[in-house]
A and B are shown apart, each in its own frame.
Chain A
Amino acid sequence: MQKRLVTRAGFVPPFVLESLAAAGVDEARISINDSTKIRERRSERIIDTAFWAVPTPAPTAAAARQVFDCETKWQQRVKLVRGEGDPAHTDAVVNKVYDFAGVVKDYFKTKFQRNSIDNLGMNLILNIHYGVKYMNAFWDGDEMTFGDGDGKIFVNFANSLDVIAHELAHGITQFTCNLEYYSQSGALNEHFSDVFGTAVTQYFLGQDAHTADWLIGDEIMGPDLYGEALRSMRAPGTAYDNPLLGKDPQPDHMDRYYTGPADNQGVHINSGIPNKAFYLTAMEIGTQEAALIWYTALGKLWRTAKFNDAVNVIVESTRILVRDNKIPLGATQKVRAAFKAVGLPK
């Protein structure tokens, strides 16, 4: 008999919820994830922007793209410049981010039958030209924001399909298992965004695991960083080594796991370990097959999941997909071997 679990009131201790989530009790996973709270916050935000006359999407809405030009201000949603179905704009960056957001949206719909970020047709809000020489892109819980870079170290972040898919995937993680952005759960959060950034890019370019470069961020390198990238899923730790950025600190094995405080205890650093495992899996069974496994696992994880938890859930997801003839027999063993190669589970 399923017990009724009280969530945010704290009746059930968090460590009990985590054990139940690990055992596959969905109510426990959802309790940890606080997804209801997130949906409530998003509804309030939609009301705040009603002056743009964009109707609040119905549950089966078609995930309208809305591109806002921040006009180099440090504000989001300054000026709506292209809505869903609008003709091309004179600003090429507007069109690039609009087109690439469509590629990502269509990928998740085609491959995983997912209707936008929240699977309910959430609009895709894309802020471009944010700030002055802003060298970054981020997902803030409601929308994506992209800087222009400085033109020397980094070029426009909105021109990269990899970046757009990565940030949109943070939204998908938020509306599935909502991995806490700290330590191992945060590194998993970053890992899943790199996974889908890579999978979407390979799909769009017609590449497979053997023809892809497995680099993250190579498209935004400015002239000062020619030939470099930000991360390598194939060989974590080798993406860059130059006086401007320093040396790529990502480990490729649990023996070199980063334990320091920087970067929310290494969310962009230790993501290299599961990134390598995904690469090894993709080389054995194919990138899109691996992405299907990882997407399935994303829906079964929970907010405080750690690396070992992810391994267990990914392997279990593989078994289910093999059982259902979605991926070939033998995949389970290859996934285990990929994680073993990076020292997991530990």
Chain B
Amino acid sequence: MSRLFLPLTLVAAVLFAAAPIVVARAPFEETMGLVQKVFYYHVPSAMLMFVSALICGIASATYLFRRSAAADRLAAAAGELVALFGLIVMMTGPLWARKAWGAWWVWDARLTSSLLLWMIFLAYLLVRRYGGPGSEKLAAGMAIFGMANVPFVYVSVNYWRTLHPKTSVVMTLGPGMRGAFWFCVAAFLTFYALLLTVRKRLEDQRARIEHLYLSLDEQEPAGLPRH
């Protein structure tokens, strides 16, 4: 984990430093013009929000059925990142929508279901934090239901008639934009990997400290003052 930290930080820093230049150099989209450039941040964040929800759900299922505490810590890290990347999606989306549709928000299937997915994981974090002892299991159940929502959100644009652009837009990008787009995806992906490993490591260390405290308590003879 810690060996990955430095290279990931460096790569993410370089990619993010270069991203504005790459995005600025990409050709303007004909109809949308400058606003379209939000796309380079919105879509990679949305992709990672889905990926993170899937990681959180699968890790939670592993925790529930295999009783792996490490999987639960991974789920906790991924759950927080769903909230973070979801926040980016929810902020960049309206910026574009205001220009493209004339409204910050419309209640169409894609937007509603993405908002719900994001809310499910906010609720996941709330339970983890305020559920008291044993809340990890509760949260894991929540994450599995949240994961079930992901394919639903993904296909919603293609099956329902919605205002939101279809997922095929990514594959039909112009040549100049395609490079910039995948560059941004790579930047966000490295950044995501960095955050996930750091957050997971923090949880691991926390679990170790807890374990040490517990074993210390067991060793201490009764009657001595406790920490």
Are A and B associated in one complex? no
